[in-house]
Amino acid sequence: MDEPQLGCAVKPRPEGRFIHHWLIIIIALLTTAPAGFAQAILEGERFHPSIGHHGMVATSHNVATEVALKVLQDGGNAVDAAVTAGFALAVTQPRSGNIGGGGFMLIAKGDGSAPEAIDYRETAPAAATETMFQDESGQVNAELSRFSHLAAGVPGTVAGLALALERHGTISLKDALGPAIKLARDGFVVPRRFTEGLEQARPRLEPWPASMKAFYKRNGNAYQPGDIFRQPDLTKTLQRIAREGVAGFYEGKTARLIAAEMKNHGGLITEDDLKAYQPVVRQPVHGTYRGYDIYSMSPPSSGGTHIVQILNILEGFPIRESGHNSADNIHWMAEAMKLAYADRSQYLGDTDFVQVPLTGLTSKDYAESLRSGISKDQARPASDIRPGAPEDFESPETTHFSVVDQWGNAVSNTYTINFSYGSGITVTGAGFLLNNEMDDFSAKPGVPNAYGLIGGEANKVEAGKRMLSSMSPTIVQKDGKTFLVTGSPGGSRIITTTLQVIMNVIDHGMNIQTAVNAPRIHHQWLPDVIRIEQGISPDTVRLLESRGHSVSESSAMGAIQSIMVDEDGTLYGAGDPRRSTSSARGY
């Protein structure tokens, strides 16, 4: 790739200027939150960003961060490091990292060109039908869409990561898989979060012998912190991919193992489904916010569309002047979020199957019309909100990581198997978990999915279709140069988590670690409640309630991994302390 200049045209952000932000957030969280919650939010006391001058990696697992950083140090580019991290996370973080799921990747070259999106979202099998999750009376059976073999879409991760490497990488797929294979074969030290996750997931994993074999000891006990965890079946699966390329997953032995798993348990995915799977190169959603270019994922993700839509609405309010997480700002954010999520329920789906009014939803004029309906001091009940009328139609556990290299190339990647540990079902003999992404379709229009999101006709189940997602890998540019690389897990809260980090940096001038640490809020139209993390002032909550808002405390929302590039090319990385294994490292 051509070597561009690093950095972006923004004012320097000296660390000392933001000490007051840290103190406010630290004091608020540690004085108002119960000890257990404070630990969950600020575990590890990460208050300073990691700093680098040549490259930066931010992932949800320190081992993945280390192996990806080594790729950069050895001369690889951001895509090389991202693909290496993606496969490493499939080994070290099986609850959400994956080869049995799918996701989205944004790639920005350092030459100033617009980013490119790779869509490797799962697809519905050829035998899928609109009513496959309904009983004879038309009622939705959530168990089928979440915890059965019918819940799995055709996985896209292997094909998507391989395509990214083929288009923009400099190392081979075999080399990118090397660290993952070593970690699966030789094992890694189990952290506390790994043990806790397995104990929590036991009721869903226990019915499946292959899951118990893969993730628990022979006596059925969970691996404890400090134990070495090895995955021999997954090692063989990864070795087949390294040896045979994409065909090592979508054809041959691995494909036969997946198809047999399906056939033996009433699933739908066949060898033909696997062989037919193809990732898609798409154009990201693009918008602007206060002079910055916002690039994020296009459908079948709803994330980019509604991040841009909400930012467009909020651009007309004095966000900076009103102060971070003030009652005014939270009120405006919640009202804008309601409107966007209402539109999501009506219009968003796979653009290969349905028309989505992207131009209208992301237009400044439409945002202005929505903004005019927001009262200054009164919440609008969700029951009074209906999807709007944009013009110009155009033909829950997830993992995000961000990478920037010495040439200014940037990758923002989010992928998932949906729930923590997906469906709970491991492919016998292959060592990886099946996703339960079919639950992200509308099992029946108007019936909420596991995240409470309402879907409509645009997101109904159809053979070969990609289910709607909230994943929002995002790259923000200033004057054609990468400024911010970010994204998060969190189901329906991915959109609002990513939104607030962007606002914290652009509107409130926070450094990236402070922006990531700051308490978050979320509203998704239905249910009609503002969810807040602890750290929001009780006085602010009372003011919101006096305006008619229902406010509820929530557990930690999202786990965003972010990188900011300053005007002199200095890289600032932030791992989210809400996920104890998160880390950012530069060199």
Per-residue pLDDT tens over the stretch 145-155: 999 999 999 99
Using CA atoms, how far apart are residues 5 and 371, in angstroms rounded to an integer? 38
| DSSP per residue, 63-85 | HHHHHHHHHHHTT--HHHHHHHH
pLDDT one digit per residue (tens) for the chain, 587 residues: 333 222 233 333 333 333 334 333 333 333 333 333 333 444 445 679 999 999 999 999 999 999 999 999 999 999 999 999 999 999 999 999 999 999 999 999 999 899 999 999 999 999 999 999 999 999 999 999 999 999 999 999 999 999 999 999 999 999 999 999 999 999 999 999 999 999 999 999 999 999 999 999 999 999 999 999 999 999 999 999 999 999 999 999 999 999 999 999 999 999 999 999 999 999 999 999 999 999 999 999 999 999 999 999 999 999 999 999 999 999 999 999 999 999 999 999 999 999 999 999 999 999 999 999 999 999 999 999 989 878 643 335 799 999 999 999 999 999 999 999 999 999 999 999 999 999 999 998 878 877 777 778 899 999 999 999 999 999 999 999 999 999 999 989 999 999 999 999 999 999 999 999 999 999 999 999 999 999 999 999 999 999 999 999 988 999 999 999 999 999 999 999 999 899 999 99
Using CA atoms, how far apart are residues 343 and 421, in angstroms rounded to an integer? 30
Q: What is the DSSP letter of 408?
A: S
Residue 557 is predicted with a pLDDT of: 94
Q: What is the pTM of this model?
A: 0.91
Q: Are 554 and 519 in contact (CB under 8 A)?
A: no
Active site includes 65? Answer: no
Q: Which two tokens stand for residue 145?
A: 């869409």
- Residue 381 CB-density burial (10 A; 0-12 exposed, 13-18 middle, 19+ buried): exposed
Using CA atoms, how far apart are residues 494 and 13, in angstroms rounded to an integer? 26
Using CA atoms, how far apart are residues 564 and 24, in angstroms rounded to an integer? 22
Q: Rounded to whole angstroms, what are the CA distances from 443 to 151, 313, 449, 461?
A: 11, 31, 8, 7
Using CA atoms, how far apart are residues 252 and 11, in angstroms rounded to an integer? 54
Residue 396 is predicted with a pLDDT of: 54
Residue type, 126: A
Q: What is the DSSP letter of 427?
A: P
- Catalytic residue among 92, 305, 398, 428, which? 398
Residue 346, C-beta contacts closer than 8 angstroms, at least 6 positions apart: 387, 456, 458
Q: What are the backbone angles phi and psi of residue 404, rounded to the nearest 5°?
A: -135, 135
Nearest to 565 by CA among 477, 474, 472: 477
Domain boundaries, the chain: 15-50+282-397+470-586, 58-280+424-459
SS3 category, 475: strand
Nearest to 67 by CA among 171, 183, 226, 233: 183
Nearest to 466 by CA among 409, 521, 519, 416: 416
Half-sphere exposure of 450 (CA within 13 A, CB side): 25
Fold topology of 15-50+282-397+470-586:
Glutamine Phosphoribosylpyrophosphate, subunit 1, domain 1 (3.60.20)
Give CB contacts under 8 A, 24+ apart, made by 248-251: 249/99, 249/155, 249/158, 249/159, 249/274, 250/158, 250/159, 250/274, 250/275, 250/277, 251/275
Is the preceding peptide bond at 527 cis, omega within 30 degrees of 0?
yes
Using CA atoms, how far apart are residues 112 and 40, in angstroms rounded to an integer? 38
Using CA atoms, how far apart are residues 131 and 98, in angstroms rounded to an integer? 28
- Give the other-Cβ count within 10 Å of 154's Cβ: 27
Beta bridge partners of 475: 295, 485
Q: Which two tokens stand for residue 84?
A: 């290496």
